[in-house]
Each structure stands twice: as structure tokens, then as C-alpha cells.
Structure 1
Amino acid sequence: MSALLWALVAVPLGTGASLGCAGRRVGRVAPAVGVAAALVTLGLAVAAAVVRPVAGAPLFAGVRAGLAVDGLSGVLVVTVAAVTTAVLVFSAGDFGRDENRGRFFGLMLLFAGAMLVTVTATTLPPLLMAWEVMGATSWALIGYWWRQPHRVRAADTAFLTTRAADLGLYLAAGAALAGGTGSLELDALATTRSPWLQVVAAGVVVAALGKSAQLPFSFWLSGAMQGPSPVSALLHSAAMVAAGAYLLLRLNPLAAATAWALPLVAWVGALTALLLGVVAVAQSDLKQLLAASTCAQVGFMVLAAGAEGVAGGTAQLVAHAAVKAGLFLAAGAWLTTLGTARLSALRGAAHEYPLVGAAFAVGALALAGLPPLSLWATKDQVLAAALVRGPALYAVGLAAAAVSAVYSMKALWYVLRRPLPADAAAGDADHRRGARRVPRAMRPPLVVLALGAAVLGVLALPGVSDALRSAVGAPGEPEPHAWESALSGGLALAAAGLTWWWGPVRGLSLPWPADWLHLERAVHAVVVRPVVALAGALAAFDDRVLDAGVRRVARGVLMAARWAGRCDDRVVDGAVRQVARGGLVAARWSGRADDSGVDGAVRAVAAGTRRLGLLARRPQTGLLHQYYVQAALGLAFLALFLLLVG
């Protein structure tokens, strides 16, 4: 069984890495290889959801890298694999002539593989690794057209914003180790000792909200629209933003173990759903409208996690993945054919391209929450859980549901109106020139995703919803009452009807939320500018105080060295020279003393010795009678001496 799970994550990751490294050398076969890998991954995902394998490997001392497919992750792996397959099939038509398609398909498979590891991880280390890979590949995909600076800036903003929030996971891992969860098992995080439990929960919540583009991190998703449309389709549906919602659903027991996490998560999700829905209403660009709607719809998933509606949040995640992937691919098809994403330039696009228009219409109606389509049913499950938490939370969620009908119908109003403007063919300066036709490879994914957007509401039907609750381990979650479903459906129909009758041209282009609530400016004012100012002050302090002090010390040392050198020249060297002179004088005096004293004494002794020798040689005449006289005289002197002494 473990081999099945390893293969599930190895196929997209290995194939993606190979395509990405090969680059242009595999450009021709990259689409076919990418789609084949996605299809194999989908088959493995379905098998894993049925078999539910478990795998693990030692990583550090006492820490394992664990992966498993259970009820919740089983639903997610199939969703991720299915959406990835649809997006890559669409990309085969959209990137058929791109010279860098090997890099594109490689990054997309790596992106999807990282999401699969995220949803199957049972310990924090593999979750952190996949979290990092997902962030890095999303940065590369958003900035795919890296020769255009504004796209690179958007990728940097998305990466840095999510990266700052991701630090919460590292904080949570450290707190879990400090609080006694040495194995770093996700299921054991709720048993962390206090006060570390609060730190773990805070880190997880921050990381999840940042990844899911919830308030106050929502603004990064606006810039993420600078990437190719298939990237937006995958990023907004089954990967990246869905990862944060999944993490909150998975770690619901951890949030429940604290007194503050669940209410905070629920209210952040509800307010994001409402306020970012208003932002979506104010947009004049289709991709920006869909991006803001992603924040709003993911807000319902976050609301479900905070209201302990795990099954409802899971159903919302799956249905939204199909809806949003289809909508972004339809927008990408129009971007390819017409070269524009401006709503005013897309007027009548559904009539020009009926298949794309039909798929978009189904997705937009589902996004509006109109019965009996998917998001109407799944959203009611979320609102039922919110009602248990309190009427105020339910009211905000219901208002957000009504707003979703407004921005969905606004987009649909434009694409269904006739005629197609003459300036649409010119395209936008920010997008590629249109190709004026929809490639055949791009059509099947639109049909499949539209079908999913229509029928995935079955997840909320009584029999299926019971099975889903049992699978995710939440059998006691509330079911929506008939009046709740009727109220939300009627409210959505009323909002949609008024929007269609009133028309976007009469006031739905609101100026104040169009800039995404000025969140990015607020972050620049509250965070970026103070940090840059602090960095400048620290740099000035470093230059004017620390470096200046070091330079002064260096100058002082140099002056001391020069003074010491002068002292050495004038005093030490002078003393040495004086000593040397004195030694030379002493040596000379010693030499003179040696010549006049010692040598003179030696010469005197030698002269005396020479004289004595000469005197001693005189008696040695060789005549015997002289030797006799000398002996007699010697004996006489000796006798005389003895007589005198004695």
C-alpha cells in the first residue's frame, strides 16, 4: 500500500522536475508528457482514495516523514488530480507553440505534486517541505513571463506576502517541540502543553490565512493574475489557496483546543467572504473579478472550519474547485482568442464562442449560488454550521452569499450582451494578442468542469452528505433546514435578478473597493515603509556610529603605529646605535688593551725564556773538565748552604 502512496506523489514531482530541468529540449513532447503524468496521477489518486494507504520514512532522530490517505485527504487528492488533469489538457492547446512549454508543464506538475504532499502529510516536516515547494513554484508560475517587469513584481508580492505568513508554520513546529510533541504528528498538535498550545494554534492560523488570501493578506491574489490563465485556474481552485482552507479543516481539533482560534477563524472567513465579494463587484477586469471571488468563496471554507463544519467546508472546497477552474479556463480561452480580459471588451463573447460561453454561464450561475447548482447546496451546509455558532455570523455569511450572486451576474451580463465590440480584437496592452479561435484541446476541459460545477451539489444531498461526514470524521455536523435552503436560494435569485435588470453600467462599478480595499497600500504604509525606514535608520547608525567608530579606532591605531615608528627610529634605533657605537669603542679599547697588555706580557715572558735558554746553553761547552769544575762548584755552594742553614 505504501508503494501506491509514494507513487502518487512521485509521479507528478519526478515528471515535473524532469521537464523543468530539460527545458526547451523537451518542448515538443512536454504537453503530451505532462498530460500523461496527470492522467496517471489521477488514476493513482482514485486508487489511493479507495485503498487509503499509509507510508512513512525516518527523517530526523525521533521524527518521521508520514503520509496517509484518509477520508478527508482522499477527497482532496482526487480533486487536485482531476483539476490538474483538466488544466494541463487545456494548457496543451494554450501553450502549443510556447518555446518554454517544457518549463511550464514541469512547474505545473511540481505545483500539483506539492499540493498532493500537503493534503496527505501526517507530520509537520513533509507538510513544511511541500508548503515551501508550493510557494516557490507559484512564484515561478506567476512570473512565468519574466521579461515583463510588472509580472515579476506581482510574483514577488505574492511570494513575499505568503512567505511572511508561512513563518507561522515554523513557529508552530518549534512550539510543538517545546510543548512536548516530539514526533510532530499533526493529530498530536492539539495535545501540546500550554502555553505552547496557543503558539502552535496562532502559527497555523496565520500560515493558513496567508496561503488562502484571507484578510488581511488578500491583496496578493490580485497580482497573481499576471500569470497565465491555466496557472490562475489551478492556483485558485485546487492548489495554493485551497491549501490554507484544507489545513484549517484538517487541524480543526487544534483550533478547538483553544478558546480563541475557532471564533477568530470563523469571523475572518465571514468578513473575507463579504468584503472581498464587494471587491469583486467593483472590478472591471474579468480575471480580477474572479480573483476577488476566490478570496470570497474560500472565505466560506474558512468560515466552515471556524464553525466546525468540516464536511460542509470540504464539500464547498470540492465544488468551488470545479467552478473556479472552469471559469478561469473560459477566461483564458477568451484571452487567447480575443486578447483581452476587460469586461467591456468581452461584451458578447459568449455569442462569438458558444461552447466557451455555455461553460462560463454554468460556472457563473453556480458561483452565484443559484439552486439547484453545486455551490448553492454546499454553501447551505456552511451556513448551517455558522447558524449554530450564532445569528450574527449566519447573517454575515448570508449577506456574502447574496453578494456572490451580484458579482457572478455582473460577469455573465457582459459576456451575454450583444454585440461584440470592434475594439475587442485589439486586445489589452497587458495581455497577448488574441488568436481569434479556440484550439480543440481547450474545449473538453471546459465541458467536464462545467458538468462538475452543475452536479457536485450532490455532496450536500442527505445520503451523500452523511457518507461525506462519516469519511471526514464529523458525523454530528448540522444539516441545513428547508427554510435555510429556501432563504439562501431565494436571496441569491433576488440578487441575481436585480443585478441583471439593473445592469452593471448603472452603478455596480464601485470606485472605493476597486483597489482591493487599499490593503496593499495599507501594508506598505503600516509595514513596508516603517520597516524600510527602520532599515535606513539602522544603516545610518551603522555608517555614522559603528563604522565611524571602527574607522576612528583604525585611524587611531594607524597614528599610534606611526608614532611608534617614529619613536623606534628616534629612540630605540638611536639607543641601539649608541650601544653599537659603545660596543665598537669597547672593542677597539679592548683590542688596544690586548695589544699593549696581554700581548706585551706574553712577549716579555717569551724574551726572558729566550734569554734564560741562551744563558743555559753557555755552560754546555762539551768539555769534560769544565763540567767537573761546574759540579764541584755546585757541591761547594750546596754544602755552604747547608752549613749556613743548619
Structure 2
Amino acid sequence: MNALLWLVPGLPAAAGAVLALSGVRSRRAAVTITLTVAALTLVLTTGFAVGQSTVRTPFLAKADLALGMDPLAGVVGVAVVVVAVLVLVFAGADVTESPARFGGLMLLFVAAVLTTVAARTLPTLILGWEVMGATSYALIGFDWRRPAAVTGGVVAFVTTRTADLGLYLAAGAALAGGGTLDLARMSDVAEPWRTVVAAGIAAAAIGKAAQLPFTFWISRAMEGPSPVSALLHSAAMVAMGGYLLLRVPELLARTPVVGTTVAWIGALTTVGLGLVALAQRDVKQVLAASTSAQLGFVVLAAGLGGVSAGVGQLLAHAATKALLFLAAGAWLSALGTRRLSALRGVARRWPLLGALATVGLLSLAGIAPLSLWAGKEGVLAVALSTTSSRISSEGGWPLYLLGLLGTALSAAYAGRVLQIIWSGRSPETDRWDEFEPGTRRIEPAMWPPLILLALAAVALGVLALPAVSDPLAAAVGGPHPAEGVVELIGSAGLALVVTAIAWRRTAVAERRPVRSTRPTRLLLDWFGLERAARAGLVAPVDRLAGLLARFDDRMLDAGVETAAGRTVALAGAAARFDRSDLDGLVEGLGRAVRRLARLARRPQTGQIHQYYLQSAAVVIVVAVLLIVIG
């Protein structure tokens, strides 16, 4: 029975590969197949999550291919597939080009994510991790006719791929340290290799989670279709970075340097990317920056050992951000624009969509009792209660204050977007009918996923209730510090105040000319991280490649051509020697042999008396020689 666990990733992988390569042109058939396979995958994942099965297949010495569904993997795996099903329902109405290729790639991506979720060994994890990266590249660049989409896919793939090298470093260090490649036993590796293992896994996770300094790739990834963003950057690819860190709490606890670094990176990302989100003028860029910021809370929790708090934030983020990306996709489908300035008053034009987006934005702001309020409060409680010396002599206060600032920034950029979508129409929005390729219509099939995700964003607020959070914490990672009533009320009050201030300031700013200051330009450029990466890494590699190419053209090619020319000349000389000298020598030798043969035939007359005379002559000659020698 356990062997059937391979069907959890195997079914969507096989169906996705067949669908992507089939060339099915019927949109209805492609959508039906995709949704049917996704629904079956949800049933399988739920069943094995309840049964908590494990399966192993021999692969390498000390490293089997292994999958397992413990409570942590079960909760996250089911959440991933639920979001995937809802996104695919939305995509069925939103994505009209190459529906079979799109559905097949999405199913392959889901299979890779489920492999990552259930992986019990590094080889299994790397298998899922690599396929997840490859399919994300294909999905981000799905509209391959647009250069920006292809470039976005390349930037996302190369950036995360660079960080992914940490997994290979971790695998090598684990074996060098006398350990195995089982994720649950990574902490048993001897030092200093244990620290190398932890650093490698952390690097791969931080890159995939779009944390500092890798955040810029998620900005480029926004060139993909909205359903792709809704899945990849809510419950799947980006979330897998945080999930990987939540899978190895013991390893991070036993490598204080790495654990501390992870916690600080998460905290700094919540603040830094919160500022970036606050400055953006493109709705998908706001959501992209906020994704990194909200995942920063998961990374912070993982660095502090708060597994259950991190899982709560992960689930809350999945529902909220999938809702917001799909709402943005609906507006993009209707209006053909992503500019915030062009979305003024859209909530008034589509009140139901505006209400659903408002639920997502209020959750993003941390308004009680919605999901991200509960998720962030769990993480902040862990930071506040941290007294480990590996963080600082003051306990978790520095990290707590950074997390609180990140929470305030969440409310600020959410309040800004809220004011824009509910404000009156501007001269730019008066030209809605001019937008292309806007259809000015939201398809009916888009509504059910939006409504269900909004309900999830509301319902997951119960994660703050002890009756719900305590059993979840006990199941997935042990108890975490309970949020105090004062902290809960204070955080909710802070979110309300900041949201109101952001609403007011945005309304006032609408009546003023937009000024692009240097700090604003820096935030719009995501701190210039991509430019820095290009200048510090890409450009030197390009220059080195150019030098090597010129060396190859001018030196190696010239050397090869010179050697080839001299070889040809030597071959010509050898040919001439063969034709003139060697052939003459052979022919002369042949003539000499023929003359000797003729001389040898002369004594052979057939006369017996001549043979007697010849024998006598030979005997006399031999006798004379013997007398002379003797």
C-alpha cells in the first residue's frame, strides 16, 4: 500500500507530460483533463496525508529515493493541491492560448512541488527541486513571443539555480562528514561539515523563497500569466523555500551561525521588501514584493525554531496571496493593464471582485481576525519569546521589532492599494474602454476560486485561537509560544491605524504631482539588486567568456590550424618520399632479387653428372676452408 505513495507526484507528472506533448487543441478537453487529474491528485494527497505513509526505493549508497507524509508534509501538501485546483479553475477561463501545454506544465509543476514536500532524502528533494525550477521557467516564459516574458523566466531560473547549488554542496558535505542523505538525520553529520550542510540547504531555500539578496528574480517572474503567479508565488515555489527550512529545525538549532543568519535574513526581508512594495506603481509588483516580505516571516520563524508558527504563516499566505494574484489577474483580463494608476475605482465598477480583493488586502494588512494577522502574530510571539544566546544578548527583541515594523509596512502598502481600488475614477480610468487587449468582462468561471480563497483567508484567522493552533502546533512541530492578549490587540490596533494612515496619505497624494526621488527610484528598482548581480556576477562571467572565446579563436584555433598545415606538409613530404625514394628502393630490390633468382636457376639443369660435379666442388671448397681456418 505504501508503494502507492509514488502516485501522489507520479499521476500529475505522467498526465502533465502527456498533455503538454499531446497537442490537444480543444480548450474544453484540455481544461477537463487538467482539472480531473488535479482533483484526483487532491484525493490521493489527502488520503496519504491522513494515513501518513512512507515509501523507499534503493537509489544510491546511503541515499534512497524516499517519500513520506508526516503531519507537516500532509498539511502543506494538501494546501498546495487545493490552491492548485482553484488556480486551474480560474486559468481555464483566463488562459486561452495553448491550453494543453499550459495545463500540462502546471501539472508537472504540481508534481515537482509534491515531490519536494514529501521528500525524505536529499536525492529525492533535488529531483523535485530541479523539476520545479525547470517548469517554473517554462511557465513564467509561457508567452514566449514576448521578450520580457522569456527574459523573466531566464532571470528567475538562473538566479534560483545559482542558489540551488547549495543542495549539492550540502549532499557532498553530508557524505564527507560521515552522515547519510536523510533529511531527518542531517543534524547527525560531524562538524565542521554539519555547518556546511546547513549553509547549503539555507542558501537554496533563501534563493527559492526570494529572500535578500535573491529577491529581484520574483519581480521579473511577474511577466508570467496571473494564474502562474497565483500558484508559484503563493503556496508553491516561493513557499517551498520557507518549507525546506521548516523541515530541518534540528539542523538549524545545532548550527547557531546558520540559524541566526536565516532569522536575520527573514526579518530584514520583511522590512526591506515591505518598503519596496510601498513604492511600486504596478499591482503585480506590489504583490511580488509583498510575497518576499510575507515569506520573510516564515524564514524568521524557521531560523528561531518556530516550526508551527512558520506553518501557520505559510498557510495564511497561500490563501491570501493566491486570492490577490487572481483578483489582479481578473482586472488584467478585463482592462489589459497592471498600472495602479489605471485601477482607481475598479472596486466600484466590479463590487463583488472589489469586496473579495478587499478581504485579501485586509488580511495582508494584518487586520484581525483574518489569516495573515494570525500567522504573523504566531511568528512575532516566537521572536518575542526567544532568549537563546545565539540570537543576541537581548533575546529576540531586535528580531521582534523588525517583525513588528514589517507588519506595519504590510498594513501600509495594503492600505495604499485599498484606497486606490475604491477611490473615484481619474482621467486615466475614464479611458478604460481604450485599453487593449481588455475584454471589459470577468468570466463567470473566475468567481468560484476567488470566493473560496476569500473564505479561506477569513477562516484561517482561527489559527490564532488556542483550540486550533495548539493541536496544529503539536502535530507539525511542537508547541510554540502563545500570543498574549496584549500583543494580539496591539498588533491588530497597529494594523488598523497604519492602514487608515496609508489610506489617507494615498488619497492626499492623488491630488499632488508624482515626484520621483532618489530613494523612490531605488525602491522601484528593488534596491538595484539585479543591476548589482549583473555588474558583480553576470558581467565578469560575460567578460571571461569573451576572453576565452577570443583566446579560442586567436590562439587555440590558430594553433590547431598551424598544426594542421604542418601535418599536411609533412604528409606531402612523406608522400613524395614514398613515391620517389621508397618506391625506387623497393623496385631496385625487386630487380636484384629477380637477377639472383635467375642465377640460382642456372645450376638447376636436371643432369645428374653436373649435380655430382657441383657437389664435389662444394666439398672441395668446404675442405679448403677447414684447412685454412684450422
* TM-score, with structure 2 as normaliser: 0.88
Specify which of 523, 542, 566 is matched with residue 532 of structure 1. Answer: 542
Per the TM alignment, residue 493 of structure 1 is displaced from its structure 2 partner at its CA by: 2.3
Residues 533-553 of structure 1: CA deviation (Å, up to 9, x unaligned): 111222222333333333333
Which position in structure 2 is the counterpart of 1:427? 435
**Of 86-95 and 574-583, the range deviating more from structure 2:** 574-583
Per the alignment, in what secondary structure is the counterpart of residue 256 of structure 2? coil
Asked whether the equivalents of residues 406 and 499 of structure 1 are also in contact (C-alpha less than 8 Å), the reply is yes
Cα 1:51–1:41, aligned 2, differ >3 Å: closer, same or farther?
Answer: same
Q: 2:448 aligns with which of 444, 447, 451?
A: 444
Deviates more, 1:314-323 or 1:258-267: 258-267
Deviation at 1:502, TM superposition (A): 1.0
- Residue matched to 2:486: 483
Task: Give the superposition deviation at 1:314.
Answer: 0.5
What does residue range 495-506 of structure 1 map to in structure 2 within 5 Å? 495-503=498-506, 504-505=509-510
Per-residue CA deviations over 1:161-209 (Å, capped at 9, x if unaligned) read 1122212212222222232234x21101111122322221121111111
Change (3 A) 1:366 1:552: same
TM superposition outliers: structure 1 runs of 4+ over 6 Å: 577-588
- Out of 407, 417, 420, the residue aligned to residue 414 of structure 1 is 420
1:90-115: CA deviation from partner (whole Å, max 9, x where unpaired): 122223xx251122122212212221
The separation in 2 between residues aligned to 1:512 and 1:424, in whole angstroms, is 30
Structure 2 CA distance for aligned equivalents of residues 177 and 62 of structure 1: 9
Distance 2:562 2:147 in 1: 43
2:163 is the counterpart of 1:165 = yes
Q: Is the 8 A contact 1:339 1:424 kept in 2?
A: no
Q: Indicate the residue corresponding to 1:33 in structure 2.
A: 33
C-alpha distance after superposition, 1:337-363 (max 9, x if no partner): 111111111111101111111110110
Matched residue, 1:356: 353
Q: Which secondary structure does the structure 2 equivalent of 1:64 belong to?
A: strand
| 39-48 or 86-95, larger mean C-alpha shift | 39-48
- Runs of at least 5 residues in structure 1 that lack an aligned partner in the other structure: 606-646
1:385 Cα deviation after fit: 1.8
User: 2: CA distance between counterparts of 1:262 and 1:293?
Assistant: 23
Aligned residue number for residue 628 of structure 2: none
Secondary structure of the structure 2 residue equivalent to 1:479: coil
Q: Deviations over 1:246-282 (max 9, x none)?
A: 0000112112221311111111111111111111111
The offset of 1:119, in angstroms, is 1.0
CA distance in 1, matches of 2:604, 2:72: 116
Where in structure 2 are the equivalents of 1:585-604 lying within 5 Å? none
**Counterpart amino acid of residue 224 in structure 2:** G
TM-fit CA distance, 1:403: 1.1
> CA separation in 1, counterparts of 2:433 and 2:166?
46
Measured against aligned partners, the alpha-carbon deviations of 1:503-556 in whole angstroms (never above 9, x if no partner) come to: 154679722210121111111100011011111222222333333333333333
CA contact (8 A) 1:115 1:130 kept: yes
Aligned counterparts of 1:67 and 1:217: Cα–Cα separation in 2: 29
Out of 66-75 and 262-271, give the one that drifted further: 66-75
Deviates more, 1:158-167 or 1:11-20: 11-20
**1:513 aligns to what SS in structure 2?**
helix
Q: Is contact 1:15-1:37 (8 Å) kept? A: yes
Read off the aligned partner of 2:40 and give its amino acid letter.
Answer: V
Map 1:37-52 to 2 at 5 A: 37-52=37-52
- Is residue 2:112 matched to residue 1:109? no
Query: Aligned to 1:56, what secondary structure does the other structure show?
Result: strand
1:195-594 matches, within 5 Å, as 195-387=192-384, 388=386, 389-419=395-425, 421-427=429-435, 433-475=437-479, 477-503=480-506, 504-505=509-510, 510-567=520-577, 571-572=581-582
Q: Secondary structure at the match of 2:65?
A: strand
What is the TM-score when the length of structure 1 is the normalising length? Answer: 0.85
SS at match of 1:489: helix
Aligned residues: 592
- Give the Å deviation of 1:8: 3.1
Q: Distance in 1 between matches of 2:423 and 2:490?
A: 29
Q: Deviations over 1:110-159 (max 9, x none)?
A: 21222122111112222211112211211111111112222112111111
User: 1 CA distance for matches of 2:604 and 2:42?
Assistant: 116
Q: Following the alignment from structure 1 to structure 2, what is the Cα–Cα distance between the partners of residues 171 and 31? A: 40
CA distance, structure 1, for counterparts of residue 139 and residue 83 of structure 2: 17
Which string of whole-angstrom CA distances, capped at 9 and with x for unpartnered residues, describes residues 381-432 of structure 1? 112222324222222221111111111112111111112612233336xxxx
Q: 1:587 to 1:455 in 2, by over 3 A?
A: closer
> What whole-Å deviation, never above 9, does each CA across 1:54-84 have from its counterpart, x for those lacking one?
2233334553222221121121022112111
Offset of 1:579 from its aligned partner? Answer: 6.2
- Are the equivalent residues in 2 in contact too, given 1:4–1:48 (CA < 8 A)? no
1:110 partner SS: helix
1:202 maps to a residue whose letter is A
> Shift of the alpha carbon at 1:565?
4.3
Following the alignment from structure 1 to structure 2, what is the Cα–Cα distance between the partners of residues 508 and 562? 77
Partner Cα distance (1:579, 1:18) in 2: 74
SS of the counterpart of 1:511?
A: helix
Structure-2 separation of matches of 1:246 and 1:541:
46
For 2:10 and 2:121, the matched residues in 1 are separated by 18
Match of 1:125 in 2: 123
Moved more, 544-553 or 323-332: 544-553
CA distance in 2, matches of 1:144, 1:248: 29
Q: Secondary structure at the match of 2:24?
A: helix
Seen in structure 2, the aligned counterparts of structure 1 residues 582 and 22 have a Cα distance that, compared at 3 Å, is closer
Q: Which residue of 2 aligns with 1:143?
A: 141
CA contact (8 A) 1:339 1:426 kept: no
**What SS class does the counterpart of residue 418 from structure 1 fall into?**
coil
Is the CA contact 1:346–1:415 (under 8 Å) kept in the aligned structure 2? yes
Query: Displacement of 1:46 after TM fit?
Result: 3.2
CA offsets per residue over residues 305-329 of structure 1, 9 Å max, x none?
Answer: 1111111111000001000000001
- Identity over the aligned pairs, expressed in percent? 51
Query: 1: distance between equivalents of 2:564 and 2:461?
Result: 76
1:83 aligns with 2:80: no
Given that residues 89 and 446 in structure 2 are in contact (C-alpha distance below 8 angstroms), is that contact kept between their aligned partners in structure 1?
yes
Residues 553-590 of structure 1 deviation map (CA, whole Å, 9 limit, x = unaligned): 333333333444455566555656776787899999x7
Residues 4 and 53 in structure 1, CA contact (< 8 A), matched pair in contact too: no
Whether the 8 Å CA contact 1:154–1:223 is kept in 2: the answer is yes
3-state SS, counterpart of residue 28 of structure 1: helix
Is 1:63 equivalent to 2:63 in the alignment? Answer: yes
Contact map agreement 2:368 2:461 (CA 8 A) in 1: no
Q: Secondary structure at the match of 2:191?
A: coil
Q: Of the two, which has the highest radius of gyration? A: 1
Task: Pick which of 233-242 and 58-67 moved more.
Answer: 58-67
**Cα pair 2:362 2:370 within 8 Å, conserved:** yes
C-alpha separation in 1, matches of 2:178 and 2:486: 47
CA, structure 1 residues 572+33, in 2 after alignment: closer, same or farther (shift >3 Å)? closer
* Greater Cα offset, 29-38 or 405-414: 29-38
Q: Which residue of 1 aligns with 2:190?
A: 193
The whole-number CA distance in structure 2 between the counterparts of 1:307 and 1:426 is: 51
Give me the whole-angstrom Cα distance separating, in 1, the residues matched to 2:3 and 2:261.
Answer: 40
Q: Distance in 2 between matches of 1:112 and 1:581?
A: 85
- Answer yes or no: is the 8 Å Cα contact 2:63–2:122 preserved in 1: no
Secondary structure at the aligned position of 2:58 is classed as strand
**Alpha-carbon distance between aligned partners in 2 of 1:105 and 1:582, rounded to the nearest angstrom:** 86
2:391 counterpart residue number: none
Work out the CA distance in 2 between the residues paired with 1:550 and 1:286.
57
